[in-house]
Amino acid sequence: MGIYNRADGKYIKDLPTYIKFFPFLMRRRHDASIYFSQKIDLTKTMLYMKNNDVKIFHIFLASLLKLGVEKPAFNRFVVGKRVYQRNYLAIGFMAKADHSEEASEVSVKVFFDENDTLKKVRDKVQEKVDIVKQSGTFNVDKSIDVLTRLPKFLTTFIFFVLRTLDHFGLLSQSFIHDNPLFVSAYVTNVGSIGLDAPFHHMYEWGTTSLFSSLGKIRKDYIVCEKTETLKVTDTVNITFTIDERIADGIYMANALNDFKKYMENPELLE
């Protein structure tokens, strides 16, 4: 482990020259962030949800999982000016015991297999959320609680050490395993609290190259391409913030078109 062999990914040597150069041109994820939004036609999706006991959040996660499997560049990350292919599929998000302002938030990180079906994704998510809610915390939350109790200079020094270890690929497997920001994608379901999808910032800590927001389901106009007419149907807006250093624009556009296809036709996720 170290530099070319991380606990969570493999260094990619055979990349196009411009992709190799991107980390020098854009040193931080903030510098390399690009933004996409999609309006999803839920005409078929709502009927599928009604007949198959799944929620829009499960379809959202399963579609992202397909993205990571079929378009592996979406499961890459940049650390120390090097591009790595992640060696697992995982999604991170925050969960609340209820929708009250007083309810505490807990971090959730769910691991998936490339052959997981939509219902398998649903079951894994629910199982993990139930475990975390019962315990009231995730392992990384305990570490954060300790760090926030230390003097600021000591916390700053500890993070300096951690970032240095991360830069050289020396973070341990056990440390990465529980950290919800070392994931293929980090998501937020703001639709569950009645909000539309915002464009979220990227985190400099961790290895997440994709942040996606799921908005609320609402009625809106959709253009029928075959008839070139407008219809009013259930829709949802989804936004993406992506680290441009992992892939080129055409690759991203094709991948997000595939994502839209899965969201609108969830039977493809079975």
User: Which residues face 93 on adjacent strands?
Assistant: 108
Question: Using CA atoms, how far apart are residues 23 and 202, in angstroms rounded to an integer?
Answer: 15
Per mean pLDDT, which of 97-111, 227-241, 251-265 is the most reliable?
Answer: 251-265
- Condensed to tens digits (0 to 9), the pLDDT of residues 46-62 reads 999 999 999 999 999 99
Question: What is the end-to-end Cα distance of the chain in Å, rounded?
Answer: 37
**pLDDT recorded at residue 159:** 86
**pLDDT recorded at residue 139:** 62
- The mean pLDDT value of the chain amounts to 89
**pLDDT recorded at residue 228:** 75
pTM comes to 0.90
Among 111, 159, 104, 168, residue whose Cα is nearest residue 137: 104
- Condensed to tens digits (0 to 9), the pLDDT of residues 30-40 reads 899 999 999 99
- Condensed to tens digits (0 to 9), the pLDDT of residues 111-167 reads 999 999 999 999 999 998 887 767 655 566 666 777 778 888 888 898 899 999 999
Question: Using CA atoms, how far apart are residues 65 and 263, in angstroms rounded to an integer?
Answer: 12
Residue 260 has pLDDT above 70, yes or no: yes
- Condensed to tens digits (0 to 9), the pLDDT of residues 153-203 reads 888 898 899 999 999 999 999 889 888 899 999 999 999 889 999 999 999
**pLDDT recorded at residue 147:** 75
- Condensed to tens digits (0 to 9), the pLDDT of residues 68-122 reads 999 999 999 999 999 999 999 999 998 765 555 655 677 889 999 999 999 999 9
**pLDDT recorded at residue 101:** 60
**pLDDT recorded at residue 130:** 81
Domains, in order of start, for the chain: 9-97+104-262 (3.30.559.10)
**pLDDT recorded at residue 104:** 65
For 249, half-sphere exposure in the C-beta direction (CA atoms, 13 angstrom radius) is: 3
